[in-house]
Each structure stands twice: as structure tokens, then as C-alpha cells.
Structure 1
Amino acid sequence: MPQDNIAIVEKQFPNDKFLPEVVRLLDEGYTVTLRLKGYSMRPFLENNRDKALLVKARDIKKGDPVLAEISPGHYVLHRIVDISGGTVTLLGDGNLTVEKCRTEDVKGSVTGFYRKGRDVMDRTDGMKWRIYSYVWTRLRPVRRYLLAFYRRIWMKVFGGAK
């Protein structure tokens, strides 16, 4: 039977209501595709444009992008910059300051991103992501200036997500 008349409806919910349900699904073994909200992973991931494919967090390591609960009901999708004992230090690619949580508060691991409306996923274990990660994480001392350039000049000249 043709399904040409099926309407796709996208609904938005507050993160404090929605993300605990995402975590529940991850705990049950499901994979979840999550539309990204916020600007903390700029310049390569944009608010309300890109999506992340999440699985339950296992064997996390430095450099992994993860979904973590940094305080009760407050979740972030950031990169792990350090794991020391039971403490995980996180930093969004578009952020200048770190956030911390416990190892058990890392709820999901990102296996890939769907960027710029593409149907093909950029895998986090792929060469493209690894090169980007290697370069961007080493630019941390000058990240403030690169992000300012991106927001104030690049976005105005080339457009894109606001």
C-alpha cells in the first residue's frame, strides 16, 4: 500500500522532560537520533540543524562526544577532555569552560552526526571526524578568537544557522 499521504510531524519538548526519556530508551538498548539544540558544539555542529545518533554509553574515553547529566535534569552533549578516577571533564567544542560529572552520569555515546541536512552520517570513528577532532582540540588556546571570528564574520558573510 502506498504511503504518500503520511504526514511527518516534528514536536519539540523541553530538555528536562525529553532527555530523561531518551536516557531511558538508551538504557533499554535502543539507538536514538537527537536533533541538536544549543551552540556548544559550534562551529561544526549547529543548533536545530544537525542530529546526533546516540547509543548507551560504554567504554568511554577521552575525545568521545557524549550525552551527560552534569546536574540533576541538566544534560549536555559535549566532548570528553579528561577522565580522572570517577570524574569526567567535558568541553563543548564551542565552549571555553569545562563542565564535570561522574562516570555514571555519562548516559549516551555519539556514534555519528547527520550534518547540514545530509542523509549520510559522519561517523565519530571515521577519518573525517578524527581529523577534525585532532585539529580542533589542539586549537583550544586560540579557540576564543576562532569562535568570535565564526560568529561575528563567518556567519554574517556566509549565512547559515543563527
Structure 2
Amino acid sequence: MDTPAGPTARGAASSTPGDPGVDRRGFLCAAVGVGLARRMQEPSGMYGLIGKITATPGNREALAAILLDFSVAGMPGCLSYIVARDPSVDDALWVTEVWDSEASHKASLSLPAVREAISRARPLIAGFSDRVVTRPLGGIGLAANRAG
């Protein structure tokens, strides 16, 4: 049975002659919403950390160089490791890490390269603050690297 083109029962225009009045835009939005809701309910195995490190006066760049000196490729389970300058605090850095699991992060602390970087950085660190643990869901750059 043909239905006239025009507004459907939901008030959206049908774009295909003979379309039984399916509101495609609404259907797609609902489908995407259901998919996102399911994804949000799935536990993420990823483990994230965001933290602020304050360098001793005048040592922010030297500290950043140490933090950036080792290769993430040699850090099993590390999906992202970002060091950024705080634009409003001259001696502060923000470090954002994403790991495939909390266990991988903990294991990394015993790696020789990490232990050596920590020992070199320690004299340049005035303090840590604003540490937040997160459960990353994904994002640009993570999907290609996420294991499993």
C-alpha cells in the first residue's frame, strides 16, 4: 500500500516514495543511543591517570625532558603517555596516561627505564597534586592501540 510522501506520524518527512513513514533520523539517533548506552555499561579494562607535577623553580623543562626521554613502545600496556605544560603555572606539568589495565601500570613502575627516570626526576620535583584515576572509554589514538 502506497502512502503519500509528507509528514509521518512523528512529524518528520519521509524521503522515499512508498516509505511506510519511518522516521529515519529518529531511528538512527535511537540506534546510536542504544549502542552508546551499551558501550557505557560495558566495563572498560583501560586504566587512566591524570596528574599535575610541580617542578622546583626553573626546572619544568628539564623535568619534562626526563619524563619524555623514554619510549612508550618499551612500556608494555601503555596506550598513551602525554606530558603537557600548564599554561597558567610556570613550574607545572600535567601527565595523562592510559594503560590497557591497572596491572600494566603497576608493572611499569618496576621497569629499569622507569626506575631510572624516576631517580633522575625526583630532585626536580617540588610536588604532586590533582591526581585523578579514570576509566577511559576510548578516543582518537586509543582505538588503534587498544588490545583485545
Q: Could you say which structure has the higher helix fraction?
A: 2
State the TM-score, normalized to the length of structure 2.
0.22
Q: Could you say which structure has the higher strand fraction?
A: 1
